[in-house]
């Protein structure tokens, strides 16, 4: 261990939280080491996909690190980190549920023009959606194409564009919402 470096393995959680709140990354690393098995179990219980659960755990710890200064009662860290990972896993699980817009994008991609007309259930709706798709800003459109048409995972898209995964997820969300609003407006006319 380098000189001046504390050994956090024997420290109480409250001491680690205090040290982490004032910026000691090694104290936070020890909290992660202690609680990773438990929060991984929680995430895997909420999400059937192991990789997605591991992503939820990672996101939860990043969120916890950023929000740690807001934790007033240091004795509540275990319950607090449990709530953070549980909520993160729920959000990730909810985002996996396929929306009508998701199904439409997947079912009627750019290859639409190459399909026989009788294979398309609602050609007008698909054409409106594709017109709106082309109006998306280039950054959103490219991410949507890679995600839905090339079936790239979010992590790969993020690495490709040198963006944080949260930015890629946000752009996918915004694009889906825009397409959903467009379809809702067209249906309600």
CA–CA distance, 35 with 2 (Å, rounded to integer): 25
CATH label, 13-96, candidates 2.30.40.10, 1.20.1050.90, 2.60.40.420, 1.10.1740.10: 1.10.1740.10
Asked whether this chain's domains 13-96 and 100-187 adopt the same fold, the reply is no
The CATH number given to 100-187 is: 1.10.10.10
Q: Which two tokens stand for residue 169?
A: 């997820």
pLDDT category at 100 given cuts 50, 70, 90 is low
Q: Which two tokens stand for residue 68?
A: 């740690």
Termini Cα distance of the chain: 69
For 96-121, give the DSSP string: HSPPHHHHHHHHS-GGGGGS-GGG-S
Query: Where are any strands of DSSP class E within the chain?
Result: none
**Residues across the chain:** 189
pLDDT digits (tens, 9 = 90+) for 140-189: 887 887 787 777 788 888 887 788 888 888 888 888 888 777 766 554 55
More confident residue, 51 or 126: 51
Spell out the domain ranges in the chain.
13-96, 100-187
pLDDT digits (tens, 9 = 90+) for 71-96: 999 988 988 998 899 888 888 876 66
pLDDT digits (tens, 9 = 90+) for 127-145: 667 777 778 887 788 788 7
Report the pLDDT value the prediction gives residue 184, as an integer from 0 to 100.
65
Q: How much is the mean pLDDT over the chain?
A: 78
């Amino acid at each position: 261990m380098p000189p001046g470096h504390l050994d956090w393995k024997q420290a109480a959680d409250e001491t680690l939280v205090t040290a982490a709140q004032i910026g000691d990354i090694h104290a936070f690393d020890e909290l992660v080491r202690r609680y990773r098995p438990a929060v991984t179990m929680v995430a895997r219980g909420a999400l059937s996909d192991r990789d997605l659960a591991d992503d939820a755990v990672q996101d939860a710890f990043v969120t916890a690190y950023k929000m740690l200064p807001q934790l007033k009662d240091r004795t509540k860290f275990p319950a607090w980190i449990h709530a953070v990972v549980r909520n993160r896993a729920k959000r990730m699980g909810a985002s996996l549920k396929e929306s009508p817009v998701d199904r439409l994008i997947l079912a009627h991609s750019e290859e639409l023009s190459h399909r026989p007309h009788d294979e398309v259930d609602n050609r007008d709706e698909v054409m409106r959606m594709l017109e709106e798709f082309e109006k998306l800003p280039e950054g959103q459109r490219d991410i949507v194409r890679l995600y839905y048409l090339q079936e790239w995972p979010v992590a790969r898209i993020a690495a490709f564009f040198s963006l944080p995964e949260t930015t890629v997820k946000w752009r996918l969300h915004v694009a889906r919402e825009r397409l959903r609003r467009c379809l809702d407006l067209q249906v309600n006319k």
